[in-house]
Structure 1
Amino acid sequence: MVASPYALDLAPERLSVGFSGPGGFADRLGVGPGPVEWRPRLSERRGLAERAYRTHAQEFARTYEPGVKMSSAHRAGSVEDAWQAAWAGASRAVLGWASPDRWRDSCCFIYALPGAHECARCPRLR
């Protein structure tokens, strides 16, 4: 077995996304257990986790076919939005830190549904 540079095995088959937020938005990212070869120092963990996430998420966003036109900027924005939401949730859950609200970089298109309007941090409202 090749030693992984991560405390968690972030292979795509171990990742899961939960969709239970309003409008079917992804609101949870899960990582299944895997082998742990070594444990990085706490100061290294965020960078390692973020790089591993971006490696996987950028490839996923690049190849995802949603059935509607999606620009490269929207794809990149969705990767950034998901990382920011996951980091804010982890910081809140583990450290009790409140994260500042930020404008989303990608649009969720909920405004296109009958009777709906833009979400509070929609980039369309800037």
Structure 2
Amino acid sequence: MSAELRDVITQLGRSLAVLQVRVADDGDPDLGIPLARAHEIAPGWIDTYRELTIEQWGTAPPGMPSAFVLQYLVDPLATVISAAATRTPFALSADPSLWSIGLEPTYLYPVAAQVRAGDHRRVDDDIERLDLAYEGYRATADQIATALPSPTRMSSRQRLGMVEDMWEMSLARLAGAPPPERLSCCLIYSLPDCQPCAGCPRQT
């Protein structure tokens, strides 16, 4: 990885309030969730998240743990790749073998993303760079979403809609704009005393 790209990723890690970003060198261990092994890890994560939700709320509505785990898998990828494409001259590769996610140990949401050296490209044209970044993100995130081994039924709209939602939400955060209307639903409204989140498709 070039010194310039390493500096870019380090700067992203300082500027993204929602996520730490770090570079992995050869020999460095992956964080808790290597994206290349997402489908192996997801079932246990879903089960643990379900148990945690029951401890907190007394219930875990069907489909909600899977929805949150899918969101947590693709959101860090969308956040970092979109930030790089809009704030730096680099389109980061979305090859899942280059990425891993660190989770908050108690509540199991992403707090860090780690990226390795790979086919990251410097692209000077802003539109071309953003398009290239989106295409790479979409290909990887669609694969993760489609193959997620959910114990409850998830429609293609929920799976692929979550992929699109995380990208659009990351761009909105970067622009300081309100959350866009979502295609997918995180199902948080189904918890006791909770309301639909901003952009929830159930509000329209």
- The structure-2 alpha-carbon separation of the partners of 1:116 and 1:37, relative to structure 1 and needing over 3 Å to count, comes to closer
d(CA) in 2 for partners of 1:84 and 1:59?
Answer: 18
| Aligned residue in 2 for 1:112 | 190
Choose between structure 1 and 2: higher helix proportion.
Answer: 2
For residues 1-126 of structure 1, what are the structure 2 equivalents within 5 Å? 7-17=91-101, 30=113, 32-35=115-118, 38-43=121-126, 44-89=128-173, 92=174, 97-126=175-204
For CA contacts below 8 A with separation 6 or more, give which structure has more relative contact order: 2
Tell me the CA shift for residue 7 of structure 1.
4.1
- The structure-2 alpha-carbon separation of the partners of 1:99 and 1:19, relative to structure 1 and needing over 3 Å to count, comes to farther
List alignment gaps of at least 5 residues for structure 1: 1-5
- The structure-2 alpha-carbon separation of the partners of 1:87 and 1:30, relative to structure 1 and needing over 3 Å to count, comes to farther
Q: Please, which moves more after superposition, 33-42 or 80-89?
A: 33-42
Tell me the CA shift for residue 40 of structure 1.
1.6
d(CA) in 1 for partners of 2:96 and 2:169?
Answer: 19
d(CA) in 1 for partners of 2:186 and 2:112?
Answer: 17
Deviations 1:23-80 (A, max 9, x none): 9776x78451414675222322101100000000111111112322111111121011
Aligned residues: 112
Alignment RMSD, CA only?
2.8
List alignment gaps of at least 5 residues for structure 2: 1-89
Question: Structure 2 length normalisation: TM-score?
Answer: 0.46
Q: Percent identity?
A: 34
